[in-house]
Structure 1
């Protein structure tokens, strides 16, 4: 089975068989079961078309979804997905960028026709943006460096630290202003 990440088109991954000598034979991993003279795989690992290889996982030829981890996001699939997420880094997904651009156009048009309504809408966007920014930085602080956070925000490591180091980590919740 080939895995394709929704946010990074064309970046494909798959589980590959690992033989006792560490080599990765061609073909579907589950065909390397030792039957009919084929070499028997000792494990499977995630592989990405970019050349990345992940850690090895136990082989369960009887249940492909369990072995690959596709049902619950664990195992080789979970490791490959984490690899892709690291590649994505602070890249804004295309659908989100398009939604922001569309909102920007709508607010500009509304400003021409109904400036008070545009101001009210912009205030709601500002409140939502502040809440999302706080939650996002709080979430990023659990796994990312201040340097990475600063880069994502377009500021220096020091500026990110000064602004956000004292902000309490906030739980995930609804960002829609009341």
Structure 2
């Protein structure tokens, strides 16, 4: 039994991240009729995982079946399922860039890549450095604008509020698609809310002083 053998690509589970431990990756076999076979494990039914072999054509079911899958489905222990990848037991050969041989797990590799992208979306909460720099520059520009042209600064802030609302809605929809836990979503929002509140309060104070002048 493979039991979701792929772990997050950032090594966060070793550091005790609760959200990371919720996401274990695996590949399920889907038959030609669209069903994913299951087997009994104690009193529960488990979906049958499939390992696409790299060394030769074909692969192995975690719980043996005579029929090869028609598709491989990237899956995560959180409940997420990716788009099925067509599977040909005799196909999938591609060259190994590090050695003069063929690898036979193109379908399995595609499924693992899809799960890795899911894990990145579900686990990573690191803001890219380039975006952090842009946000810092925007904040500096807004502070200067508030001191020089308060009405223009208020117009920019209104636009930012509208953008933040639509962006948050998109992020929450994507989070639901990736089965991110509410607790994990609440962690960054607490700090973000406080930061926005502090920045907004500072802006309002400066604008009030500028309008009185």
What TM-score do you get using the length of structure 1 for normalisation? 0.45
Structure number with the bigger relative contact order (C-alpha 8 A, sep ≥ 6) is 2
More strand by share: 2
Which structure has the larger Rg over C-alpha atoms?
2
What TM-score do you get using the length of structure 2 for normalisation? 0.39
